[in-house]
Chains A and B, each alone.
Chain A
Amino acid sequence: MAKFSKLAFNKGELNNQLSAFFADLLEKNAVDALLAPMAQPKKGVMQTLVTSKQNLSGVDPFAPVVPVNGARLASSLTSNPSGKKIGMVLRSCEVRALVELVKLKQANLEDVVLIGLDCYGRYENTDFLKLRAAGATTEDFLENAQAGKTETDGCDVAGACKICEFPTTDNVDIRLCIFGAGQGTLLIEAVTEKGEEALQTAGRKFGDSPAGRAEAVKKITDARVAAKNAAFAEYRNSTNTFDALNERLAACINCYNCRVACPVCYCKECVFVTDTFRHKGEQYIGWASGKALKMPADTTFYHMTRITHIAAFCVGCGQCTSACPNDIDLMPIFRTSAEKAQGRFEYLAGRSLDEPQPLSIFDHDELVEVTGQVK
């Protein structure tokens, strides 16, 4: 089924090899444009859109950083389609969010060749910049991570990544595999026919299926699932009352950064900035009668609203936590509520393009025990 093409690289040559591969894709018109993480002239690695191979020098897809969830960028590029075929290099959390956005009609994959990555996790943006400034390279990171070590100089990958049970990327056309690929090797997998066609056009030759990949993936996944279960249990124990939740959110200042960073919070204008939440003076006075009113008000309400809005779509990328200026660890709140909400509908955000989203269809027959209706 799946076909693999081997890409061997010498130490320090990974990005050059990948750059050459992407150049082939562009030059042979397998794609018209490419969106991929690239090193920026001054500092940092950001998703970058290029249309010619001359601009591929900074290619660095495995750099352990995701400054913004790429699903949002994919939405910008495709919701009003350009008519050009775009290759997009994205990680699991980005593709899973993108799947949700496609279902919400905020993105369109018709002219997209999705290229997924195996992912050992990402650092927080500031940590990544710090490490890079100190000379750390992507290959160093991959080598250490393969040996089971992601921590460097007191910095570790994001909490969301440690408990992410989707280290490989599904629902893509092409996959860049490093798990179980062996030293100095990267495997380019054609996952779909579209992917195979693109690789053939780019002149890739297919070889044997790699031995040991499945096992390597399983090992990583199992470890992450165990970590997830432990983290969820800890979180649920510590945040099992409304007061505890309030306390967890106490530092919130209604900056709404978490909402801006969230790839599936897709409204054009959030209800919290509309008139609905422009309360009248008399209302504030009313709330303050007989008790102290912390201001800004509506902070816990805001997060709870966000839970109801995105619990069905949350893919657990953890960008909310990363975006918080006051270090509120929001990710567990959303991941645990999402697990419950999605489980309730036998849904898993990002799993498939074909499953209808919960509450998006009018279905008489769900939540029987709540509604008392049959089926």
Chain B
Amino acid sequence: MAENKPIGTVLVAGAGISGIKAAIELAETGYKVLLTDSSTQVGGILAKLDYQFPSDHCGMCRMLPMVGREYSSEYCMRKSLYHENIEILPFTEVVSVAGDAGKYKVELKKRARYVNSEVCNELGKCIEACPVETADEFNHGLTTRKAIYKSVPHNVPQLLLIDKSVCTECGECVKVCSTGAINLHAQDEVETREVHAIVLASGVKLYNTKEYEDAKSYAVSPDVVTSLAFERMLSGTGTYRDGIIKRPSDGKPAKKIAWIQCMGSRNKRQNRDYCSSVCCMFALKEAVLAKEKGGDDVETTIFYMDMRTFGKGFQQYRANAEEEHGVRLVRCRVQEVVREPDGNLRIRYFDPETNEFQIAHYDIVVMSTGQIPFDDHRKWAELVNGELSPTGLLATEKYSKVRLAGKQGIFMCGSLMGLTDISEAMASGIAAAGEATSFLNAIGTDKVSFEDIAEPVTDDRQLPKAAVLLCKCGEFAGAEGIDLDMIKTEVMKHRGVGTVHVVNSICSEEGQKEALDVLKKAKCNRLLIGACQPFMYRRKVRDIAKKAGYNSSLVQIFDLLGIARRGTEEASKLAWTRRTINEIKADLESIKQKPALHVQSVPINPTALVVGGGIGGMHSALSLANRGIPVHIVEKSGELGGFAGNQIAATVDGLKPMTMAKDLKLKVFEHNKITVHLNSQVTKTEGTLGAFESKIVSSGTDQKTYLHHGAVIMATGGHEGQTDEYGYGQSDRIVTQFQFKQQLESGAIDLSAVENVVMIQCVGSREAGKREYCSRICCMWAVANALKIKEMNPDVRVYVLYRDIMTYGFLEQYYTKARAAGVIFVNYDLNSKPQVEIADGMPVMRFTENILNTEVEISPDYLVLSTGVDPETSNTELAEAFSLPLNNDGFFSEADSKWRPIEFKQIGSFLAGVSHSPMPLPDVIMQAEAAAQKAYTYLSGGSINTARVISTVKDALCIRCQRCIAACPFEARSYNAAEHRIEVDPAGCQGCGMCAVACRNNAAEVSGWSDKQMMSVIDAKLADDLQPSTAS
């Protein structure tokens, strides 16, 4: 390994979920990350959401690494994040960015918190003492807080801070603070750091009633709230109590709740000609939750323009919300909300069901507020000297959603790209990390490397004997905090302790040398280490221990300074010391009872198999090959490029897929790390974790090839759907949207002779028993073709019959443009589908025009059907060959629809693009990049470790009642009928311990967490037998 290469370092600006995901991916790959957030906390918007659809639960922790769990600290993500390669800097702003590609100097301003979290005991006496009360922004002003406060109610550790904008500097908090943690005169600190790459993940500002005039006609009462504020009304750490959703004005239970969609979005007059993409699903989820949390008698109504359920599983969620939960959807733009004298909120709306105006009253009106992105984009453009697109957004490289145009080494992800749902935030975070990794690789930076120290062999028959190592942390702990001498004396008396040693500073090289020396001489077999920030040094400390002959599983590290302070009422050196001794004894008991656990290192074949040679597949392959990973592409047709790369010349937003595919093909064929197998299919895959063998059969021949690989990326794509509805096949004037596009482009249609064109959307889609999903791209295709017609002959009347126009995000502008160009959009629903008859070989149409509510009969020259996107037919055989799951629609099922969209539950298997669900090309490419990154992190390590902490079965005790199987949330347990025993899949088990709870007699046990051990710990904690006489 070259000595002089610097460790690749990346600034991730913004610690919402996409930033966190990018940071974790980079850190897992071996790079250093500075993760900043301008707010006081990490977690972004998601820190406020207790529940997310489709499961209506949290699940944020699912974004943590699933393999190599031994080396990352895994905690509830809504509480905090720890990783040894990530430096977290909340309340920090990026002030300036200087330098060029690969050599950026960033100036960071750490804002003063006025409370030193190193000494704060988090008991909150200061909060009680503070006389200043102000609105709590975490709960959107629904509750109040003090000037000194905890910014997120559920964070661990709790970092208190003072809001200087309301603080009167009365000094009450300083008086009651027994630890001297408060400094009212603390200053902001500015520091300059050097980084090689930057990921912008700051999210965007949200529309609000304070700043924007057009919100005023709605925000007439405190009971009109934003969707995020409503989220806090459903949370136990917000205002939700005892099954009551409280109306903010008077605290009464809210029983009638309305949502108004598109607040601040889809408004050209206000220069906001975009859709905010996530609000429809957000409102549906909130409406379902409102019923569940507020009682069955809660009535929920969503007033919407188009219900944009374009993502995977969204349509089913909508159907479920309507059918199972009785959420009412009304297609109508509400113009205003009026507050009645009794406080109720009146909404007048046009009811499309009755074709009449109606008046309804509500307890709460929720405004589904969207994004206000331009300020943030302008700010970043100025900071990084980036380019702005004509729309006013940071320009990205063509086809890329994450690479900033002309700015090498700067990427973006998450809601800065336009509001994203969780899965897109995840995919974009991974993709940005992937691009950054490729970049760091290309400019020649190094990864954090670790010595590979062999795990010492242990002798289980030896009596447990523990060494205790305490770090003085300079002089600080000894002088001001705890009495290390007393700890040493007392702990030495504890049975089974071999030595207690105090080092000056274990994070220094000198301290480490000293520790190694002491540990070698001590001849113990257990090790307990007390130091500050134990999460940060885990690996380093374990390595020292290994060198000294201590098995990693028998090393425990604890927070020496924090353990005593947090929650200790009495702030005296003696109290802290006694508490520390007690905790050390408990830890000693735990470690004494622990058996040595062993990790298996499983070698991985660092080769990837990409199934599908479309644009996505080729992108993944190149991304991996460019980083040195050998790749096989298996393509069932005789040509790379897939549907888009071989058939689509141009898209409405100016992309040229065929040109791009040509370029990619060239690169793929030229690359010496990529092997292409055309006319080939995978028929069988066998093997174990990290070492698979796939059988490839060439079509039309008997030729069989066996490929060996450690990872697989499914990039199978899809194709245009088939239909027999609306007279398709009975007239050559009835064509699919794609056929029409081709005929338009080839000049096969003479538009000068055409009067009417009718397009029908959602043909055989979003309908029970057919394609039950939205194909996401058909609306854009219709808009593009309609615009094309109008461009070529403005006199052609174009009708688009639609159910919901799915021009989400900034695609909305093309929809606006089409309407401005005179394209007529007519809404229909499943109960009133358009009627088509054939007369003289030509289609004759009847449908209801919904504004005038009249029946229209038209004989179009062309009837164009948007037939949706079908999954690749070979998915079924591939799913079987690879043992990967498909959903009901025939697309592959990812591990978790929100938090793990790019990977399968089966470790080492990933998916990208249309094999996941229909999506436009830039999203395919983003997922392809993300899948490549996931595969890269996994493959580049060379081996993976099985988890140390997994559950086990003691056959002699097991009665085979199989309760553990039912209780396992990871399906890692099974009953082997032939051998009549319970089996655990060590790769699937995540060590959660549900089986151990279900099991009565410890036949199921999580290794290293035995009852015996826990009882000893409890005993030790309860004992507190340190007599005051010895303590004084």
Q: Is the A/B pair a real complex? A: yes
Report which A residues bind B (CB closer than 8 A): 104-106, 266-271, 274-276, 282-283, 286-287, 289-290, 309, 356-357, 359-362, 364, 372-375
Report which B residues bind A (CB closer than 8 A): 50-51, 55-58, 234, 236, 289, 292-293, 495, 956-963, 966-969, 994, 997-998, 1000-1003, 1010-1012, 1015-1016, 1019, 1023, 1025
- B957 and A269 contact, CB distance less than 8 A: yes
* Residue among A267, A270, A282, A373 facing the most chain B CB atoms (10 A cut-off): A267
Contact of A266 among B956, B961, B966 (CB under 8 A): B961
Given contacts A276-B1011, A364-B55, A374-B50, contact A271 B963 (CB under 8 A): no
Residues of A with C-beta under 8 A to B962: 105
Residues of A with C-beta under 8 A to B1001: 267-271, 274
Chain B's nearest CB lies how many Å from the CB of A306? 10
* Residue among B58, B956, B961 facing the most chain A CB atoms (10 A cut-off): B961
Inter-chain CA distance A339–B743, complex, in Å, is: 74
Can you name 12 extra interface pairs (CB under 8 A) apart from A266-B1000, A276-B1011?
A106-B961, A267-B957, A268-B957, A276-B1015, A289-B1023, A357-B963, A360-B963, A360-B966, A362-B969, A362-B994, A373-B57, A374-B292
Chain B's nearest CB lies how many Å from the CB of A19? 36
Residues of A with C-beta under 8 A to B57: 364, 373-374
Inter-chain CA distance A267–B968, complex, in Å, is: 20
Chain B's nearest CB lies how many Å from the CB of A151? 38
Given contacts A106-B959, A282-B495, A375-B56, contact A267 B966 (CB under 8 A): no
Residue in A closest to B994 when the chains form the complex, CB atoms:
A362
Chain A's nearest CB lies how many Å from the CB of B495? 5
- A271 and B1002 contact, CB distance less than 8 A: yes
Count, A-B residue pairs, CB within 8 A: 84
Residues of B with C-beta under 8 A to A104: 959, 961, 963
Chain B's nearest CB lies how many Å from the CB of A115? 26
Residues of A with C-beta under 8 A to B292: 374-375
Chain A's nearest CB lies how many Å from the CB of B493? 12
- B495 and A267 contact, CB distance less than 8 A: no
Contact of A361 among B234, B960, B967 (CB under 8 A): B967
Residues of A with C-beta under 8 A to B1016: 283
Chain A's nearest CB lies how many Å from the CB of B246? 16
Residues of B with C-beta under 8 A to A375: 56, 292
Residues of B with C-beta under 8 A to A282: 495
Inter-chain CA distance A268–B960, complex, in Å, is: 10
- A269 and B956 contact, CB distance less than 8 A: yes
* Residue among A268, A275, A287 facing the most chain B CB atoms (10 A cut-off): A268
Chain B's nearest CB lies how many Å from the CB of A362? 5
Residue in B closest to A80 when the chains form the complex, CB atoms:
B980
Given contacts A362-B968, A374-B56, contact A271 B1011 (CB under 8 A): yes
Residues of A with C-beta under 8 A to B966: 356, 360-362
Would you list the 4 A-B pairs with minimal beta carbon distance, nearest first?
A271-B1001, A267-B1001, A104-B961, A268-B959
Given contacts A286-B1019, A374-B293, contact A267 B56 (CB under 8 A): no
Q: List 11 A-B contacts (CB under 8 A).
A: A105-B961, A271-B1011, A276-B1010, A276-B1015, A282-B495, A283-B1016, A286-B1025, A362-B969, A364-B57, A373-B51, A375-B56
- A289 and B1025 contact, CB distance less than 8 A: yes
- B289 and A374 contact, CB distance less than 8 A: yes
- A359 and B959 contact, CB distance less than 8 A: no
Chain B's nearest CB lies how many Å from the CB of A304? 13
Contact of A276 among B293, B959, B997, B1012 (CB under 8 A): B1012
- A286 and B1011 contact, CB distance less than 8 A: no
Inter-chain CA distance A270–B1011, complex, in Å, is: 14
Residue in A closest to B56 when the chains form the complex, CB atoms:
A374
Contact of B957 among A274, A289, A364, A372 (CB under 8 A): A274
Chain B's nearest CB lies how many Å from the CB of A368? 9
Residues of A with C-beta under 8 A to B958: 268
Inter-chain CA distance A362–B1023, complex, in Å, is: 35
Residues of B with C-beta under 8 A to A105: 960-962
- B236 and A372 contact, CB distance less than 8 A: yes
Residues of A with C-beta under 8 A to B963: 104, 357, 359-360
Chain B's nearest CB lies how many Å from the CB of A171? 19
Residues of A with C-beta under 8 A to B969: 362
Inter-chain CA distance A287–B960, complex, in Å, is: 36
Residue in A closest to B1025 when the chains form the complex, CB atoms:
A289
Inter-chain CA distance A106–B963, complex, in Å, is: 12
Chain B's nearest CB lies how many Å from the CB of A108? 12
Residue in B closest to A361 when the chains form the complex, CB atoms:
B966
- B289 and A359 contact, CB distance less than 8 A: no
- B1023 and A309 contact, CB distance less than 8 A: no
- B1023 and A286 contact, CB distance less than 8 A: yes
Given contacts A374-B50, A374-B289, contact A267 B959 (CB under 8 A): yes
Given contacts A274-B1002, A359-B967, contact A266 B1012 (CB under 8 A): no
- B967 and A309 contact, CB distance less than 8 A: no
Residue in B closest to A305 when the chains form the complex, CB atoms:
B1000
* Residue among B959, B998, B1001 facing the most chain A CB atoms (10 A cut-off): B1001
Chain A's nearest CB lies how many Å from the CB of B540? 34
Residues of B with C-beta under 8 A to A274: 957, 1001-1002
Chain B's nearest CB lies how many Å from the CB of A75? 10
Residues of B with C-beta under 8 A to A359: 963, 967, 997-998
Inter-chain CA distance A375–B234, complex, in Å, is: 12
Chain B's nearest CB lies how many Å from the CB of A265? 8
Inter-chain CA distance A218–B865, complex, in Å, is: 68
- B961 and A275 contact, CB distance less than 8 A: no
Inter-chain CA distance A269–B959, complex, in Å, is: 9
Residues of B with C-beta under 8 A to A283: 1016, 1019
Inter-chain CA distance A266–B999, complex, in Å, is: 11
Chain A's nearest CB lies how many Å from the CB of B119? 31
- A360 and B967 contact, CB distance less than 8 A: yes
Residues of B with C-beta under 8 A to A106: 959, 961
Chain A's nearest CB lies how many Å from the CB of B832? 36
Chain B's nearest CB lies how many Å from the CB of A305? 9
Residues of B with C-beta under 8 A to A276: 1002, 1010-1012, 1015
Residues of B with C-beta under 8 A to A268: 956-959, 1001
Residue in B closest to A287 when the chains form the complex, CB atoms:
B1019
Inter-chain CA distance A374–B1025, complex, in Å, is: 43
Residues of B with C-beta under 8 A to A356: 966
Chain B's nearest CB lies how many Å from the CB of A257? 18
Residues of A with C-beta under 8 A to B495: 282
- A374 and B51 contact, CB distance less than 8 A: yes
Inter-chain CA distance A228–B1010, complex, in Å, is: 39
Chain B's nearest CB lies how many Å from the CB of A230? 32
- B998 and A360 contact, CB distance less than 8 A: yes
Residue in B closest to A310 when the chains form the complex, CB atoms:
B1000
Residue in B closest to A283 when the chains form the complex, CB atoms:
B1019
Inter-chain CA distance A361–B58, complex, in Å, is: 19
Chain A's nearest CB lies how many Å from the CB of B838? 51
- B959 and A266 contact, CB distance less than 8 A: yes
Inter-chain CA distance A268–B963, complex, in Å, is: 15
